[in-house]
Chain A
C-alpha cells in the first residue's frame, strides 16, 4: 500500500487512526499498541504476504539478541557479533546474492546459476534500524523487554518502508507517554498539514518532473545518443525528481506519525541549499547519515587516527552507503564519488585552516559559488544513481560534457557566417536542434525545471515552516522552537483552505494515473 494511494488515504489511515484513539482512551496501553502492530503488519503484507515471514523472523532474532545482550555480563561482544552478522547475512542474501554471482560469472568465467532473488520491501531499513538497536543495547544505551513494544518499534507503518531510520530510545518513550485529549486535534491538524504538503510534493512536483527525466535515461539505456541539452535536462529533471520524491516521502512519514502523536527525527533539510558536500550530507537522508556516522564511521576510527585514516574511512563509509542503496556498480560509483567529494571537502577545509582563513567567514558571492559547485557535484553523481548501468551513465555524462558535440537550434544557423560555421563545425557545434531525439515536450519541461529549482533553492522547507509546532525530533532553539526562518505555517482557517486546495490538486493526479512508487521504496 502506497502512502499516495486512494486505498491508504481513504480507507486504511482513517480506520487505523479511529480505532487507535478509541482503544488508547478506553483500554490499557498494550491494546492500542497491539492494534498499531497488527495494522502495520497488514500494511506491510499488502504488497506480498510472504515478505511478512522474513520481517517477523528478523524481529524475533533481534529481539532475542537484545534480551541476551541485556542479561549477559560476559561474552556480550560475541553475541553482538552474532547479531550484526546475522542481520548483514540476511540483507546480503536478499540484496547482493544475484549481483555477486553475476559478477563472479562475468569476471571469473564461472557458470553459477541461482534463481532471481526478489528483494523484500524495506529490508534495508528495518535491518539497519535493528542493527542500531542491538548496538545501543550492547552499549547499555537502550533496552526493550516488551516484545509487543519492540514489534511496534520495528513495524510502525509511517516509517517502516523507507525510514526515517529511528532509534528505539527516541521513539518508544513517546508511545508510553500519557496522551492529552486536548492535544490530539492539534497533532492531527499538524500531521495532516505535513502529510498533504508531502503528498503534493510527491504527486504534483516529483511525478510532474519525472516525465522529463525518465524518457531521457530510458533512451540512454537502450543506446540512444543524447544531445548536450537533453542530457543536461534529463539530469536536472532527475535531480529535482528525487529531491521532491524523497522530501515528499519524508514529510508524509512525519505527518502520519504526528497524527498518532509521535514525532519522528528530521530526515530532510533543504539539501540543495548546502554550501559544501559535508553540509549536503547533514541535510540529505539525515537519519541514514546519522546511522553511517554512529555505527560505521566512528567504529572505524572516525577522524581520531589521523587524516589519512579519516579519508580512508570516509571513502569506505560512502562506498558502503552507496551499495546499501542497491546492488549495482552504479550505486558503488555514486558512493565512491560522494566519498571523494567528502575527502576533497575535508582536505580543503584543512588547507584553509592551515593558511589561516576563518572557516566561518565567506562573502555572499563565495557562498553562492560554493552552493553552485556543490549542486553541480551532486547532479553529476545522480547520473550514476539513476542510470541503469555504467555504460548508460558514461554515455549521459559524455553528452553532458559535450563529447557528443553540441547541437543548437536550427534557426540560429542563419546568424553565423560560413567561416564561423566552419569554425563551429570543427568544434562539433551543430544546428540539429537542442532536443533532437524528441524524447519529451521540453518546452513545458523548462518551466517545470526552472520553477522547481526556485522552490528547492529558495523556499523554506516543511520543518522550517512548521517550526512552532515542533514537527520533528530536531534542533530547537532556546525558545523550544525548531530552528528555521521565513514563512510560518499556522493552524487556522486560511491554512486549512490551502491544505484542502493542495489536496484537490493531488487528487486530480489520482484520476490521471495510478500512483507511482517512491524512489526510496526500491532500496
Chain B
C-alpha cells in the first residue's frame, strides 16, 4: 500500500512543484534584482537626459544609440559643442536585447533628430535565445516585454530561471530596493549621458592585463538572424517619424585577424548592407578599432583617451559628410 502511495506521490509532487515554481515566478516578477539594477539605472537616467535636452533653434539634436560601447566610448558633450548641436549619449548596455534598445530609442526620439547607431557586433547575430543576464533584466525591469512574448517563450523563461535568481527575486520583492552590484556606478554618468569613470590614469593594472590576454572573436553575417527583421522595422519607424539615421560602428579592440578575408566579409558586409539601402555610414569598422592602450575593461569599452579619439573621429566624419545639412530623412 505504501509503495502504491509512493507512486501516486510522484506525479503529485511533480505537479505541486510545477505549481509552486510558477507561483513563485509570478510573485517575483518585477522585483528589482541587484544584478540588473545598474542597467535599469542607466536606462532611467538616459531617459531623463533625453527628455531634458531639447533641440536647438533649428529643431536638431544628435542622439548616439548602442550598448555600452557608446556609453563608455562617446563624448556627447564634446561632439555637441563641436557640431553646435545638442547631443545625447543614449548608450545603454548590451544586457538589453536589441529590441529593448530600439524600444528605449523610440520613446526618446523626436522628428528631425539625427540618430547615430553604433550597435555592438554581437547584436548582428541576435536571435531568439535568452541569456541568463537578459532574463534577469527582463524579469526585474521589463515585465511588459515578458508579457509581450509568445506563450511558449514565456513558459521557457519560467523554467529556465535558476533557483538562485528565483529566490533572489523573491528576496528583492520582500526587501526592495536592492543595491546595485558591480563596479559601475550611475553617478559617474554626466549630464549628456557620457560615462566618465573610465580614466586611463586611474584604471587598474588588471584591466590592461585583461586586454592583453584577450583573443579575437569570430563573426559571421547571416541575414536570416532575427536581428535583421527587427532592424529593418526600426529603420522604417525612424523614416516614418522623420528621424535621420546614420550608421556607425562600435569601438572594438583591434586584432590583426580582423583583417583576414573571412572576418572582412563580416565587417564590410555590414557596410554593404547599409550602402545598398542608401543609409549613410559614418566611417567603417576599422576606423573604430583600437589598440589595447585605448581600451578600458572589455573589448567594447574605451578609456577616456580612446573616447577622445573616437569622438574626434566622429566629429571629423560628421563635418566631412556635412550630414547635418542634409534634409531628407533616411528611407
Query: Which residues of A come within 8 Å of B, CB atoms?
Result: 185-186, 189, 192, 204, 208, 222-225, 227, 407, 410, 430-433, 436-438, 441, 443-444, 447-448, 490-505, 507-508, 511-512
Contact = CB atoms under 8 A, between A and B. Distances in A.
Contact of A430 (B2, B132, B206, B215): B206
B35 interface: yes
A422 B298 CA distance: 28
A503 B159 contact: no
Contact of A224 (B5, B16, B213): B213
Interchain residue pairs A-B with the least CB separation, the first 4 = A496-B9, A500-B13, A497-B13, A432-B206
Nearest to A494: B9
Nearest to B34: A443
11 contacts: A189-B3, A204-B163, A208-B162, A433-B204, A443-B35, A447-B164, A493-B2, A493-B6, A496-B10, A499-B9, A504-B13
A438 B207 CA distance: 10
Nearest to A222: B215
B2 A492 contact: yes
B213 A492 contact: no
B150 interface: no
A503 B164 contact: no
The residue in A490, A499, A504 that gathers the most chain B C-beta atoms within 10 A of its C-beta is: A504
The residue in A192, A208, A432, A507 that gathers the most chain B C-beta atoms within 10 A of its C-beta is: A432
Nearest to B181: A443
A180 to B, nearest CB: 14
B234 interface: no
Contacts of A501: 13-14, 16-17
A500 B164 contact: no
Contacts of A204: 163
B8 interface: yes
B11 interface: yes
B213 A497 contact: no
B175 interface: no
A45 B178 CA distance: 52
Given A186-B3, A438-B297, 4 more contacts: A407-B206, A497-B12, A499-B10, A501-B16
B63 to A, nearest CB: 29
Given A430-B205, A447-B164, A192 B210 contact: no
Contacts of A498: 9, 13
B69 to A, nearest CB: 16
Given A185-B3, A493-B8, A499 B206 contact: no
A491 B2 contact: yes
Contacts of A432: 204-207
Contacts of B215: 222
A185 B209 CA distance: 61
B317 interface: no
Given A432-B204, A436-B207, A511-B156, A223 B9 contact: no
A381 B31 CA distance: 42
A189 B6 CA distance: 7
A512 B160 contact: yes
Given A208-B162, A444-B164, A496-B9, A503 B14 contact: yes
A225 B206 CA distance: 9
Contacts of B21: 504-505, 508
Contact of A495 (B9, B34, B132): B9
B13 A496 contact: yes
B206 A493 contact: no
A186 B7 CA distance: 10
Given A407-B206, A430-B204, A500 B10 contact: yes
A13 to B, nearest CB: 15
Contacts of A430: 204-206
A516 B150 CA distance: 28
Contacts of B240: none
A433 B184 CA distance: 12
A497 B16 contact: yes
Contact of A493 (B9, B168, B205): B9
B13 A441 contact: no
A492 B4 CA distance: 8
B18 interface: yes
A410 B183 contact: yes
Contacts of A227: 206
Contacts of A500: 9-17
Interface in B206-223: 206-207, 209-210, 213, 215
The residue in B5, B10, B209 that gathers the most chain A C-beta atoms within 10 A of its C-beta is: B10
A378 to B, nearest CB: 26
A225 B211 CA distance: 11
B35 A223 contact: no
Contacts of B297: 438
Interface in B1-53: 2-18, 21, 34-35
A186 to B, nearest CB: 6
Contact of B12 (A441, A448, A496): A496
B6 A496 contact: yes
Interface string B106-117: 000000000000
A494 B297 CA distance: 51
Contacts of B160: 508, 511-512
Contacts of B6: 189, 491-493, 495-496, 499
Contacts of B133: 441
